[in-house]
Structure 1
Amino acid sequence: MRHAIVIGNTDGIGLGLTGRLLADGWAVTGLSRRSAAVEHDRYVHIVADVTAPDYPAELARALTAAGRVDLCVYAAGVGELLDLDDLGAQTRAIEVNLLGVARTVEVVVPRLLAAGGGHLIGLSSLADTLITPDAPGYAASKAGMSSYLIGLGAVLRPRGVAVTVVRFGFVDTKMAKGQVKPMMIPAERAVDVLMRCVRRRPAVVAYPRRMAWLIAAAAPAVRVRARLAGR
């Protein structure tokens, strides 16, 4: 039986993906800061915070209990709009979105290599190409995540371990911040995209594609404005 670890599955995309994997016959272990509303004989849940000192040990124990793991999905993520009275929120975005995935890689990748294969998926964002004054910690953390996982994947794929970076735009979850949310997609459609990634194991997926093209075209101008504003 195929076994997946889903990190960050209390709600939103992670929760939807957990249900879809179970429906598809997978066994799933979920890790998140709170309990997940999932009851299934092929599901195990572990309460763990990716920023806590004991997170790597908790994750290692979960992997050992699961036995062979075929898939690990890092769906944990936070992001807040910039508030100069609470810069700690920007730091936390970097801790969860970037350092959390790096700590996960430390534990998971050696086991996938030892098993001779597997698949790691990280949920990034189309914001990874932007320099934005609205949520600089979020954009920076996603830029780091995408860069790290794409580079790592280039090394791991020839050794049988696939790494996929999924760059979503606005998804209708609590993570969607701001008054304007163009081309926002429902969480279920995001799960559809992830399930295709599970089957095909691409290196990078950007969705919605039209929004990815628009952001790619606008990114140079955004960087220029940011530099000019800093003078």
Structure 2
Amino acid sequence: MRHGFVIGNTDGIGLALTRRLLAEGWAVTGMSRRPAAVEHDRYVHVAADVATPEFPPSLARALDAAGGVDLCVYAAGVGDLLDPDDLAAQTRVLEVNLIGAARAVEVVVPRMLAAGGGHFIGLSSLADTLITPVAPGYAASKAGLSSYLIALGAALRPRGVHVSTVRFGFVDTKMAKAPVRPMMITVDRAVDVLMRCVRTRAAVVSYPRRMAVLTAALGPVARARARLGSR
């Protein structure tokens, strides 16, 4: 039986993906700070905060208990808007979105390499091309995540381990905090995209495509504005 780990599955995409994997016959281990609303004989939940030093050993123990991992999806994420009086919140965004993912890779990938195969998926964002004063930590964390996973995937593919970077635009979850959310998709549609990625093991998935084109075009403009604003 295929075993998947979903890190960050209390709600949103992670929770919906957990349910979809179970419906398609997977055994699933979920990890998040709070319990997920899932009850199934093929589901195990592990409480863990990805921004703490306890996360890697907790993940390692869960992997050992599962006896292997075919798929690991890093869906943990936060996206606090900038409050100049609370810059610690931006640090937390970097810790959860980027460093937490790197910690997961550090624990999961060696086991996949030892087993001769596996698939790691990280949920990034189309914001990885932007520089935005509204949410600088979020954009920076996703830029770092995309860069890291794309490069890692190129290095690991010859050894049988696949790494995918899934770059979503606006998804209808609590993370979508912007006042304007063009081309927003449903959580179910996001899970459809993820399940297709599970099957194809594509290195990079950007969705919606029109939004990907738009953000790519806006990236240089945002950088120029940021440079002008710093003078």
Quickly name the TM-score band, shorter chain normalised.
over 0.9
Superposition pairs of residues 55-66 of structure 1, within 5 angstroms? 55-66=55-66
- Counterpart of 2:18? 18
Residue 25 of structure 1, CA deviation = 0.3
Question: In 2, distance between residues paired with 1:62 and 1:152?
Answer: 23
- Counterpart of 2:222? 222
Question: In 2, distance between residues paired with 1:83 and 1:158?
Answer: 44
Question: In 2, distance between residues paired with 1:217 and 1:76?
Answer: 27
Residue 86 of structure 1, CA deviation = 1.1
Question: In 2, distance between residues paired with 1:11 and 1:224?
Answer: 36
Question: In 2, distance between residues paired with 1:39 and 1:218?
Answer: 43
- Counterpart of 1:29? 29
Residue 53 of structure 1, CA deviation = 1.2
Question: In 2, distance between residues paired with 1:42 and 1:204?
Answer: 29
- Counterpart of 1:103? 103
Superposition pairs of residues 186-197 of structure 1, within 5 angstroms? 186-197=186-197
Superposition pairs of residues 77-226 of structure 1, within 5 angstroms? 77-226=77-226
Residue 23 of structure 1, CA deviation = 0.3
Question: In 2, distance between residues paired with 1:226 and 1:106?
Answer: 34
Residue 181 of structure 1, CA deviation = 0.6
Cα deviation digits, residues 102-134 of structure 1 (max 9, x gap):
100110000000000000000000000101000
SS at match of 1:5: strand
TM-score by length of 2: 0.99
Residue 139 of structure 1, CA deviation = 0.3
- Counterpart code for 2:62: A
Question: In 1, distance between residues paired with 2:161 and 2:79?
Answer: 29
Question: In 2, distance between residues paired with 1:167 and 1:190?
Answer: 10
Cα deviation digits, residues 147-190 of structure 1 (max 9, x gap):
00000000001100000000000000000012111111010100
SS at match of 1:221: helix
Residue 49 of structure 1, CA deviation = 0.3
SS at match of 1:82: coil
Residue 68 of structure 1, CA deviation = 1.7
Aligned residues: 231
Could you list the runs of 4 or more consecutive aligned residues of structure 1 that deviate by over 4 angstroms after TM superposition? Answer: none
Structure 2: runs of 5+ lacking an equivalent: none
Question: In 2, distance between residues paired with 1:114 and 1:206?
Answer: 30
- Counterpart of 1:50? 50
Q: CA-atom RMSD, angstroms?
A: 0.5
Question: In 2, distance between residues paired with 1:216 and 1:35?
Answer: 37
Question: In 2, distance between residues paired with 1:4 and 1:123?
Answer: 15
TM-score by length of 1: 0.99
Report the more deviating stretch, 117-126 or 83-92: 83-92
Superposition pairs of residues 67-78 of structure 1, within 5 angstroms? 67-78=67-78
Instruction: Give percent identity, aligned residues only.
Output: 77
Question: In 2, distance between residues paired with 1:181 and 1:62?
Answer: 37
SS at match of 1:49: coil
Structure 1: runs of 5+ lacking an equivalent: none
SS at match of 1:212: helix
- Counterpart code for 2:127: A
- Counterpart code for 2:159: R
